[in-house]
Each structure stands twice: as structure tokens, then as C-alpha cells.
Structure 1
């Protein structure tokens, strides 16, 4: 019979790889890229929390990681709003490098 910790570790690795697959395959929209990055960060946070519980060390490190993930999400959403207001959509193919 499988151990519960092993099953949760495999589930978090599956979440990370699904987020990576979504980031690679649905790269035409900025919103899809941001959502897949957040899904990967959720999987990494889950894996980090499981490993911290198994080792028995400081749990505050996972809270620090979660704070950084929230800051990354807020920065991504603000960039998405800025790009949609300036270009009208979030398609990567409509971005022009020469525009200011």
C-alpha cells in the first residue's frame, strides 16, 4: 500500500509538470501563461509544505515563499492590465518591440 506522503509528493510533482506543460503549449496569451505559472507555484508550495512537515523544520520559510508568490502574481496582473490597456488584447503576436 502506498504511503500518503509519497502520494501527495507525486501529486504536487504532477501539478508542477501540468503547469509547465500549460506554459509551454498555451503560450499565445499572456493570461494563460500567468495562470500556468501560478499553478506551478502552487505545486511548488505544496511540495515545499509537505517536505517541511516531513523534515520538521521551520514552517515560516513556506510562508515567505507564499509571500513572494503573491507578489509575483500581483506584478503579473498589473503587467497584464498595462498591456491590455496599451495594446487592446493579450496576444503575444500583436506586440511590436519598436512601439513605445
Structure 2
């Protein structure tokens, strides 16, 4: 399953709506993460973009430096991207994992 999945891009955004100023991590595979050890992280939302049609996955947002502590998990619900917003905390990392198999067409 992993070998047939395309890599996706992670974004960490300085605002809470997955838009605007960001840190981008290109071409990551499932069950990997991208982040920063920045002590005063400005990132309030994370996005997983470039999800193939029919794939079901969870986007994961982390805090406390890189991917030390899982803070949020959201499904793509059939969409081609995921946006996780914070509830006042700051993100320091992003990742994703596939859920089961490709959805039926």
C-alpha cells in the first residue's frame, strides 16, 4: 500500500486557517513527519496537500518541538487536502498516515 501512494506536502501556517505565511515540507511519505524545533513556534495550523483522489488518510499536528507530542488528528474525508487548526496552542510539526486501502471509485 505505501509503495503505491504518492508523497504529499506538509505546510505549517502562521495563521489559524491554513493560508498565508508558511513553512513547506515537500514530498513526504506516510508515517513520516516534518517540523521545527523553534521554541516560540508561530504556526497555528497545519495542512497536508496533494492527496490522491480516493485515498483516505489522517493529517497529524504536533507540538513541543518537531513531533514530540501529538496535538491534533483530522481525516481528509475524501478531499485532496487536510487542514488542522489549533485551539490556542502552536504547532511544531506535521505528518500523516494512510487509513486502510484506497477508497472504491
By the TM > 0.5 criterion, same fold?
no
Structure ranking higher on relative contact order (CA contacts 8 Å, 6+ apart): 2
More strand by share: 2
Q: Which has the larger radius of gyration?
A: 1
Bigger share in helix? 1
**What's the TM-score, normalizing by structure 1?**
0.22
